[in-house]
Structure 1
Amino acid sequence: MEIAETLKERGVDVAIPIFEETVEWAGAINSVLLDNPRLLGQAMLLRDKSLMKRRAQLGGIRVGIFEEAHERDDVIRFLKRVNQTLMKLDGDPNDPIHIKAFDKAGCLGHRIIRTPDEIDTIPDEEFPVLMESHLDGWEFAVEAWIHEGRIAFLNISEYVTLGYSVFVPATPELEKFRPEITRQVEKLIKTFDIDFGFVHPEYFVTSDGEMYFGEVAYRPPGFKVFELLERAYGFNAYHGLVMAFDPKTTKEEIEEFFPREVVDATGHAGCFGVYPRRRVVSHLSMPEETEDHDYFESHELASPLTDKVTKRTAYGNHWGLLYFFGDDPYTLRDLLKRQEELDFYI
């Protein structure tokens, strides 16, 4: 309250969350700046993966099976129940379940569990967690700028491998779902009562075209997607973020600022997160086939500070990103996939 009052006295109109951990702070401050107490509750919903799924269900949005777990026994029961629901027979391999932290960004704290033995690897300090059934389908992300309750610009980010690589705009195969994706995001905006700002939801689309909601964030995405959008379209996504949050922005200013989706892109931009494939490394060594490819633009890799590579926990943190840009989305997709087989640290 004190921070909000101080900001108000200094002429601040709105607080904009940049990182996952600042979403509640921005909601609390905006509830004062904009004289709307509901904004704090909205921010809390958008921070808690369990609460957001329950709210999504109430809004008629399709989600998978999920529960909260407070201890390992809860996870064991959920794994058994999910596979019992799927009518698995003795000897059939289990369908996996997903374990996620309630309030961490992206893949942090995300684990895939297939057997009861794997449950023992979850540290005590990670509980409580959200448990979800596995959804077979094409997972992708959306970035949507919102002004006066309407979508101002909607991007579809195509994952090549979750936790490794992404590119924008998506391939025509994914873009063909844009009308349904737009309807789903509009339903999300209505369900969460979002009037302004930015949302970053993730969805699954199944082979028969059904759309499932995964989760949503109320802040910029990871993996430098805003930078990829600027490379592909030429507009500053952070500038757009400020405009979407600013209560003084007019409809005309929004329409003038944002490009047309897909058709105004000059190419496809993607990035790949590098994880060392060896347990012991001595130096950075960029593969020639990567550096010599026409689509390769730059990297942010640094020499290793230690020779021992820490064992990756869940999806872990990458050591740096590679950036690519080109005309053909399929060439880019295959190129990003190929990077998984190369050593950048030897």
Structure 2
Amino acid sequence: MRLEVRENVPIWAQGLAPVLAIFISLVICSLLILWAGKPVLESYGLLIDGALGTSFALSETLTRATPLIFTGLAAAIAFKAKLWNIGGEGQLYMGAVLATVLGSGLITLHPVLMIPFLMVTGAVAAGLLLLIPTLLKNYLRVDEVVVTLLLNFIVLLFVNYLLEGPMQDPMSMGWPQGSPIIDEGVLMPIMDKARLHLGFILALIAAVGCWIFMKFSLWGYEIRSVGLNSEAARFSGININRTLVLTALISGGMAGIAGVSEVAGLKGYLTLDMSPGFGYAGIAVAMLAMLHPLGVIASAIFFAGIYVGADSMSQGMGIPSYIADVMVAVSILMILLSMLLVRYRVIRG
């Protein structure tokens, strides 16, 4: 058995592959529901209703999808250049730290300026964090997967130190949390009696902006070229190191904005448990979207719906909510397999 590259892959096949992958994932997870002794269709009905059945459920799904869109974009852009950024979690927290430092009273601006200021500074801080493994990869050939993964733990330990010490809110009664973001820096809610905030709109704008950048700009073309064939890109005159540095700044910046969005839009202050793994989940979001920036929106909402709806399914049917993690993991595997079969055909002999 061997793999042979398909010369022409129709667009309908590329679009159908993730849909079939999700369907197969749901079929496989149905076996787990049957194993638990529960009806499959009713369980999935509760999951869908818990994620989309009411305006409140929809708002919770979109709220959960907001950081996933940002971290999904971070992974998609980096992976397009074959810069394997596994450090979205650390970059998210780095953006959140800068938002807390600057947005809790150190600097006060009009909201029209304060919110972009926090977004930009958080993005820059996270982008510079990803620049470390990128430069190590460029000049010392250090594996960026290992470095970005380890940086996640370093950043989380650093955040823990800050929240237990210099950045702890004096009004928190000893609880490890940062000072609250001032009103000028808070992302306003966009639905009544719901947690959905302006960060979701900014995430949609970021996804469209990334698509335009990657599709129509010269820099986007260079990023895609480096990812497709770095040697051919170098031969054509593209500066590989410069392109990877640019990729790192954009990718890390997207993850950093996710942290700013969570601090300034959802919680209002920094805590160590602010992210339940949004940085890692962003990789799954990007893979399901097949690294397409616009596809990241639908992918993020899909995964957010699974996580939010799983709670409703668990309460209504007595099924462990951890099945959501299984569904996400199986979806990733099926997506990877579908991407492989779309790009290659299996040849016997």
Question: Shorter-chain-normalised TM-score: which range?
Answer: under 0.3
Q: Looking at both structures, which has the greater relative contact order when contacts are Cα pairs under 8 Å and sequence separation is at least 6?
A: 2
User: Under a length normalisation based on structure 2, what TM-score does the superposition of the two structures give?
Assistant: 0.24
User: Under a length normalisation based on structure 1, what TM-score does the superposition of the two structures give?
Assistant: 0.24
Larger % of helix: which? 2
